[in-house]
Amino acid sequence: MTADAPLLSVEDMSICFGRPGISTNVVDGVSFTVSPGEVVAVVGESGSGKTLTGKALMGLLPRGAGVSGGRAMFRSGKGGHCDLFRCTRRELRALRGTSISMIFQEPMSALSPLHTVGDQVEEMLRVHESISGSACKGRVLDMFGEVGFPDPERAWRAYPFELSGGLRQRAVIAMAMIANPRLVIADEPTTALDVTTQAQVLDLITRLQRDHRMAVIMITHDLGVVANMADRVVVMRRGRIMEAGPVREVLHQPGHAYTRALIEAAPHVPDTMPTRTPMPDDAIVTVRNLNKTYPGRSRSFGPPDPPVQALADFSLAVGRGETVAVVGESGSGKSTVAKLMLRAECPDPGGVMTFRGRDGVVLDIPSLKGGELDAFRRKAQMVFQDPYAALSPRMSVMDILTEPLLIHGICSRKERKDRAANLMRRVGLAPSHLGRFPHAFSGGQRQRIAIARALALQPELLVCDEPTSALDVSVQAEVLDLLEELKEEMGLSYLFISHDLAVVARLADRVAVMRRGHVVEEGPAETVFGDPRHPYTKALMAASPDPDCNQKLDLKLVAAGAGKPESWPEPFAYSGTAPPLVEVTPGHRVRRQAA
């Protein structure tokens, strides 16, 4: 770490919405320094003011917000200092891009859809340097090579929508880096990406930072990212700094209760898993050889696109009282599993999917009708991913919680109200909130209400579709705890859909890892986590960053498993038809060529 004068020193910065003095500060008295070539992570949950902090430094605060105090001294090239909050527009323009630049969270909206990637990155150079066209292009192509585009010439000509999410973020990074800034502000640069892509992009940022000796302010909510990237860390909560210091000290000897809570709540795959009881014979849901294809998009001219196979030859059993996790990245077909199991959609003909309730009646889910379907709806419920979208804004919490009872005509008016109050208590909220409307609550509170609604009918099966991925880390841990308690208490069985193996590790009895519509590995949690066989499972596990400075990401494992099935090592690689699932140890099955 360099001990010389800091590149940027933020002193007592405050940001408020509205006029200073009459409105409360959303960022209050924040101070930190960034030395040249240093990575400082600003970590916090939603509402902590971390993003506003980054935006204020770039002069990009949203309308209505303003810096109400403090200064940010930036050491400019010639040794002079300038205060970023008191720069003229012209001075700021000169700094942006060449001295300070920004990497945005959402690469699709950070790139203009109407210009090629090459044009957009080149513009950065043209604005700041007088440079000839060919030299310009040469530098951009070099940069593209450096950020890991397999074919820089093609990337130059490509439009953003032609690139995958990971490549798009690489283009955004190239754009931020092209003019050799001395400070890069990265605002959650990997949050919108899949886990395996995230690992690769993080590695890229670290490499570039070292090669170019630039300073990085890494804004993130993920302590795992902090542990892997940062030299120093600033923990923020509600606009104030809770703790700041070298990353090792803060993560391994946290001084503040909040930091401790954050570290504790961060999901990670434990080294040893308790051995769970084997799957009971009594399966609540049995799925065998299920397929689901969506018709290809029809075109105005010419034949329609080929159909998309969302789910291929899917088999799974959920035992009573068991939690089965289905894990995969976007496009793996995991949400299709949830939709099919709850009869939100019908599978392709053929295959078996049956539900066996506590009463012993076996229901064939795809062919349910009328009264049988109603009975099934009472026994299987869903918890949605986004608690902000899952509750109707026009209904009070009371209406939301009593609605399932009303639909099925269960119990009297008075009884319904009592049940709603009980449900609220059960999910850890005060019954006095019943008259309120969803928009007054935080994401975690709303997800509790959504869980209460799903439990209102006293179901036997709960399908949770990424129930915590929209929540803050500390809230996520609380909601997972709640789900576990409820399972014990009400004898529930869970189908838990997630993109994150680490989240699943703490509550799954069995895990199925999916990739492009196929299950690639399946088995009891302790074997899948303790002895993963498939390269993709290994990649997922390796890619999930731990909040531990001694366990850095293993990119070799990620690279081996994250690519297309053709690139997997033998005997897992395939092209065209997938090989069958082979049982390697009892109950642990892996998709591979038969030995």
Partner 1 sequence: MTEHYVSDAPYDPEADRQVLDRADLDAATWVLVWRRFRRHKLGFACGIFLALVYLALPFVGFLAPYGPNEIHEDSINAPPQGVFFTHAGSWVGPSTYAVEMVPDRDTFTMREVVDDTKPMPLRFLAACGKPHEFLGLFETRARLICPAEGGTFHLLGTDRLGRDIFSRILWGAQLSMTVGLIGVTVSFVIGLVLGGMAGYFGGWIDATVQRAIEVFRSLPELPIWMALSAAIPVNWGPISVFIMISVILGLLDWPGLARAVRSKFLALREEDYVKAAELMGAKPSRIIRAHMMPNFMSHLIASATLAIPAMILGETALSFLGLGLRPPAVSWGMMLNDALNLTAVEIYPWILTPMVPVILVVLAFSFLGDALRDALDPYS
Q: How far is the CB of 142 from partner 1 (least distance, A)?
A: 39
User: Quick one: 399 or 554, whose CB is closer to partner 1?
Assistant: 399
DSSP 270-281: -SS-PPPPPPPS
Which parts of 142-201 interact with partner 1 (CB under 8 A)? none
Dist. CA 21–CA 483, nearest whole Å: 44
32 binds partner 1 (CB under 8 A): yes
With binding defined as CB under 8 A, does residue 261 bind partner 1?
Answer: yes
Beta strand 100-103 with 183-187: parallel, antiparallel or unpaired?
A: parallel
- Nearer CB in complex with partner 1: 470/503: 470
CB 248 within 8 A of CB 549: yes
CB of 491 to partner 1, least distance (A): 20
- Examine residue 44 and tell whether it contacts partner 1 (CB under 8 A): no
Is residue 557 packed enough to be buried (19+ CB in 10 Å), middle (13-18) or exposed (0-12)?
buried
240 is an interface residue for partner 1 by CB under 8 A: yes
17 binds partner 1 (CB under 8 A): no
Interface pattern 306-345 for partner 1 (x via CB under 8 A): ------------------------------------x-x-
Q: Which is nearer to partner 1, 316 or 429 (CB)?
A: 429
Q: Tell whether residue 478 is a contact of partner 1 (CB under 8 A).
A: yes
Asked if residue 205 lies in contact with residue 21, where contact means CB atoms within 8 angstroms, the answer is: no
Among 129, 386, 481, 554, binds partner 1 (CB under 8 A): 386
Sequence-distant (≥ 6) Cβ neighbours of residue 577 within 8 angstroms: none
Which amino acid belongs to residue 235?
V
Give the binding range for partner 1 (CB under 8 A) out of 67-75, 204-212, 215-223, 256-264.
Answer: 256-264
CA-closest candidate to residue 590, choices 563, 573, 572: 572
Q: CB of residue 382 vs partner 1: minimum separation in angstroms?
A: 5
Nearest CB to partner 1, comparing residues 45 and 222: 45
- Paired strand residues for 364: 354
Q: Are 209 and 216 in contact (CB under 8 A)?
A: yes
By the rule CB under 8 A, 276 interacts with partner 1: no
- Of residues 389-448, those binding partner 1 (CB under 8 A): 389-396, 403-404, 407-408, 428-430, 436-437, 439-445
474-507 burial, b if ≥16 CB within 10 A, otherwise e? bbbbbbbebbeebbeeeebbbbbbbbbbbbbbbb
Which lies closer to partner 1 via its Cβ, residue 328 or residue 404? Answer: 404
Instruction: Kindly tell me which residue out of 308, 457, 581, 582 binds partner 1, with binding defined by CB under 8 A.
Output: 457
Residue-wise DSSP of 87-127: --HHHHHHHBTTTEEEE-S-HHHHS-TTS-HHHHHHHHHHH
CB of 575 to partner 1, least distance (A): 35
Tell me: cis bond preceding 571? Omega within 30 of 0 counts: yes
CB-CB contact of 128 with 93 (8 Å): no
Helix (H) or strand (E) holding 227: helix 223-229
Of 197 and 259, the one with the shorter C-beta distance to partner 1 is 259
CB neighbourhood size of 59 (10 A)? 16
Return the residue of 257, 277, 330, 571 that touches partner 1, per CB under 8 A. Answer: 257
Instruction: List the one residue from 59, 245, 321, 563 that touches partner 1 (CB under 8 A).
Output: 245
Give all strands (DSSP E) within 366-441, no chain letters: 380-383
CB nearer to partner 1: give 89 or 439: 439
Binding site residues, partner 1, CB under 8 A: 31-33, 237, 240-246, 249-250, 255-258, 261, 342, 344, 373-374, 377-378, 381-382, 384-386, 389-396, 403-404, 407-408, 428-430, 436-437, 439-445, 450, 453, 457, 474, 478
